[in-house]
């Protein structure tokens, strides 16, 4: 008995001499923002909190039918010179004047030398060449609209060029030629081609811009285009990403990386020839994906998705728990302005998370925060204390915003309010070490412990919250 006691005492002393660490030692190697503990870096921490809203974390907030109705009601419009068009209602024929108006809405900077092409100042000749490649003179009096689908994830560009134009010589993160991004297998309308024949000017939900032709497959008819929008059965990618297998017999889908929220048409095994790419479909889902054929038209290729992947048959139920769990799957990912480098900015992760429920949200923070289909709590005139009290009534999983940024709300802990978001930059609460301009990650942080360049904390800057009004 004395021997056991002595051994136990020795063990206690040994532990006391060792550095503090969790069971796996992870906390010794993970950097945390101010006010954040290691346990907060998990969805389980926030979902296990005991509060008046915890009992409702699994409540379905909006049915799939309601979400579809929501999407129709907030159909993103493309506006230019008083003309507004939505992708769903675009006519087969557009006037050339309207098309030229959309294309020419992107303009060269007034001071070209203030922008940098791969670190070197641009000039008027450079921007004139970009404008020339838009091929405006070739826009006919009437434009026959073509319809198709994206077949990859890439940038939607202001001009038909893959050049990187930064705001400083050192900038490699914020390309001034990038308007937004597009995801795989999204419907689009083709309005024009570039002078060099390598680019399409297209309309997507809420945006018009340039896409490389190699990333677009053209449908043979509008009917085919519309029929592909709503497959009878589909998988939704619910993991951080899905990488399809390398398939030597199916190069159109080989090794493609599909982000969270991507929808993949499902096929029953008995309805496709076996084997698929010389593989039997045992233990796998069969999906039929659109691909670009050699002539630029759309085709289909079958491929397999292991049943063990993070996917859902259909959409996930729209619950607060699912919002938070999906957001944490993206924790630590790099920040990518407008989807650059295959990464997400703040509205990007919200877009991907909500796509898992069937939402087709706008691609900017400002547009999301203005959606009429969600209930809005205005906090712009509140004090910090009033905002914290108001947040007590805001369920975890809601969206918070201030100008230029949108976040997923996690809840309160120790008197602080916490969020998860894709962050370009923030500074410490005391600002003693200067402003940290290189976060560039998806992270968890306290609203009170981080500051913007203006010096205001995120809590001071907070404008409001939006949340579903329910099913």
247: in domain: yes
309/323 same-domain check = no
147: in domain: yes
Q: Is the pLDDT of residue 17 over 60?
A: no
Q: Last residue of a domain, which of 279, 313, 347?
A: 313
Q: Is the pLDDT of residue 371 over 90?
A: no
Place of tokens 């390598």: 198
48/141 same-domain check = no
Mean pLDDT of 237-258: 94
CATH number, domain at 241? 2.30.30
Q: Which domain holds residue 462?
A: 38-62+318-468
418/356 same-domain check = yes
Torsion of CA 117, 122, 126, 128, to 10 degrees: 130
Q: What percent of the chain has pLDDT over 70?
A: 89
220: in domain: yes
For the chain, the domain total comes to 3
Count Cβ atoms within 10 A of the Cβ of residue 256 and give its class: 0-12 exposed, 13-18 middle, 19 or more buried.
buried
Q: Is the pLDDT of residue 141 over 50?
A: yes
Crossing angle for the helix pair 320-328 and 346-355, to the nearest 10 degrees: 130
The pLDDT value recorded for residue 84 is 78
322/438 same-domain check = yes
The Cα-based distances of 350 to 171, 399, 444 in angstroms read: 25, 9, 14
Q: Last residue of a domain, which of 251, 284, 313?
A: 313
28: in domain: no
14: in domain: no
Mean pLDDT of 240-259: 94
Phi-psi category of residue 66: left, alpha or beta, with phi > 0 → left and psi -120 to 50 → alpha: alpha
239/110 same-domain check = no
């Amino acid at each position: 008995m004395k021997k056991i006691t002595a051994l136990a005492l020795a063990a206690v002393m040994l532990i006391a001499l060792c550095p503090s660490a969790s069971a796996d030692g992870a906390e010794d190697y993970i950097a945390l923002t101010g006010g954040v503990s290691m346990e907060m870096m998990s969805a389980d921490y926030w979902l296990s909190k005991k509060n008046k809203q915890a009992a409702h974390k699994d409540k379905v907030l909006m049915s799939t039918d309601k979400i579809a109705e929501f999407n129709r009601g907030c159909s993103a419009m493309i506006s230019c010179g008083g003309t507004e068009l939505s992708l769903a209602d675009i006519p087969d024929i557009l006037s050339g004047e309207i098309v030229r108006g959309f294309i020419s809405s992107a303009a060269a900077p007034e001071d070209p030398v203030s922008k940098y092409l791969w670190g070197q100042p641009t000039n008027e000749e450079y921007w004139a060449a970009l404008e020339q490649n838009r091929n405006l003179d070739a826009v006919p009096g009437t434009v026959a609209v073509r319809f198709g689908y994206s077949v990859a994830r890439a940038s939607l560009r202001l001009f038909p060029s893959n050049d990187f134009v930064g705001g400083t010589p050192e900038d490699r993160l914020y390309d001034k030629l990038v308007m937004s991004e597009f995801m795989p297998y999204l419907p689009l309308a083709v309005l024009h081609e570039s002078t060099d024949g390598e680019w399409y000017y297209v309309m997507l939900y809420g945006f018009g811009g340039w896409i490389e032709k190699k990333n677009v497959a053209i449908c043979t008819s509008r009917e085919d285009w519309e029929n592909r929008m709503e497959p009878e059965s589909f998988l939704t990618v619910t993991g951080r990403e899905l990488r399809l297998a390398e398939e030597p017999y199916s190069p159109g889908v080989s090794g493609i990386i599909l982000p969270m929220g991507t929808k993949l048409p499902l096929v029953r095994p008995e309805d496709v020839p076996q084997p698929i790419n010389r593989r039997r479909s045992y233990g796998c889902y069969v999906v039929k994906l659109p691909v670009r054929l050699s002539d630029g038209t759309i085709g289909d290729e079958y491929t397999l998705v292991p049943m063990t992947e993070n996917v859902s048959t259909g959409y996930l139920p729209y619950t607060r728990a699912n919002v938070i769990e999906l957001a944490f799957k993206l924790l630590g990912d790099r920040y990518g302005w407008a989807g650059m480098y295959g990464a997400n900015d703040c509205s990007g992760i919200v877009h991907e998370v909500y796509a898992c429920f069937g939402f087709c949200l706008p691609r900017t923070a400002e547009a999301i925060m203005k959606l009429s289909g969600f209930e809005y709590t205005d906090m712009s005139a509140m004090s910090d204390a009033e905002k914290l009290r108001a947040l007590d009534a805001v369920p975890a999983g809601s969206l918070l915003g201030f100008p230029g940024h949108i976040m997923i709300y996690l809840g309160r802990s120790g008197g602080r309010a916490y969020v998860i978001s894709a962050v370009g930059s923030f500074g410490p609460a005391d600002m003693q070490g200067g402003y940290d301009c290189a976060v560039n990650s998806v992270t968890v942080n306290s609203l009170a412990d981080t500051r913007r360049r203006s010096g205001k904390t995120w809590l001071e800057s907070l404008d409001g919250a939006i949340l579903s009004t329910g099913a």
